[in-house]
Amino acid sequence: MSRLSEPANNRNRGQRLSGTHTFHAMFEEVPHMPEMRKKSSLPALMKKKEQGEPITMLTCYDFPTAFFEEQAGVDMILVGDSLGMTMLGYNSTLPVTMDDMVRHSQAVRRGAPNTWLVVDMPYMSYQPSVETAVRSAGRFMAETECDAVKLEGGAEMADRVSAMTSVGIPVMGHLGLTPQSASALGGYRLQGKTAEAGKRIVADARILEAAGAFAIVIEVVPHQVCQLVSANTKGSIIISQGSGPHADGQLLIFHDMFGLYPRFKPRMAKVYADAGQIITEGLRSYVQEVGAREYPRCENWFSMAEEEYQELVDLLGKQPSG
């Protein structure tokens, strides 16, 4: 809903309005609600891959952003554990819990009911054992109505991927820069720079594909390595995140593409609009206008009928003081 505004036919104090009319007049109606898009499906995504049509994927963590992304036609939405940094202010993704992911994913699903929704499995929700992984993934599917889950790691996670897909849970893999393992990787750095490292990434991608992963994110590796991954995997959708154009699709962090994360701007992110600057300017205008008593104005408040006001004054006048 849009901002509150004073009902146009109640700005003259002498007029009375019924309760129902007053309620509806408090809000400006949305002139046109977009039509619901067709529910996405894995076969539809695979068809795009087969036809060479690029697949779009963005992160999302809340209801309004999910609504806008669905209306824009984004193919896949990822509720990333990056919400730990972008939404909760942590310095890494490690403190994010299952409960955090469930709450944000539920909000995103309400905003984007028809987009293919992938939910990140947070740190230690799948690493300890195959059983832990299946239970955690099952909880996400049941409680968030997501379409798939995503986990980080290569060959060492193949048994988790296989177990989850065997019980009907679609799984997306994640190779290259894996934030949950950033400490072991030496920080948030380019991965696969050497021939040996590149070979391991390609091999891991093939192993994840064989285990049943429907898609694999390749994050921050040389574009040549991503190209080789794409050439050596035929059954999985390859999504590039900062790894060049040679993939079936692209992934960006929403907050990076709109200048909404104040701590740093990744090289791989293109800023499509500096919303952070616009928001800051709007906030400063608000502070200035309130300080100068320029806000609120008459169109921002409500009035009661004059006779009701006079009756109220009389009633208060008859009340004992104190």
Query: Which residues are part of the catalytic machinery?
Result: 219
Q: How far apart are CA 170 and CA 164, in angstroms?
A: 7
Q: How far apart are CA 138 and CA 135, in angstroms?
A: 5
3-state secondary structure of 172: strand
Determine if the peptide bond prior to 222 is cis (ω within 30°). no
Alpha-helical regions (H) of 145-274? 158-166, 182-185, 195-211, 223-232, 254-257
218 dihedral zone (left: phi>0; alpha: psi -120 to 50; beta) = beta
Q: CA angle at residue 126 from 123 to 129, to 5 degrees?
A: 130
Residues 6 or more apart from 212 whose CB is under 8 A from it? Answer: 161, 162, 165, 166, 171
Q: How far apart are CA 130 and CA 158, in angstroms?
A: 10
C-alpha torsion 41→45→48→53, nearest 10? 120
User: In Å, how far are 119, 155, 202, 203, 225 from 199, measured between CA atoms?
Assistant: 28, 13, 5, 6, 8
Six-digit token string for 180: 């949950």
DSSP labels for 8-39? Answer: GGGSSTT----HHHHHHHTBPPPS-PPPPPPP
Per this entry, what is the length of the chain? 322
Residues 6 or more apart from 251 whose CB is under 8 A from it? Answer: 57, 58, 59, 78, 217, 239, 240, 241
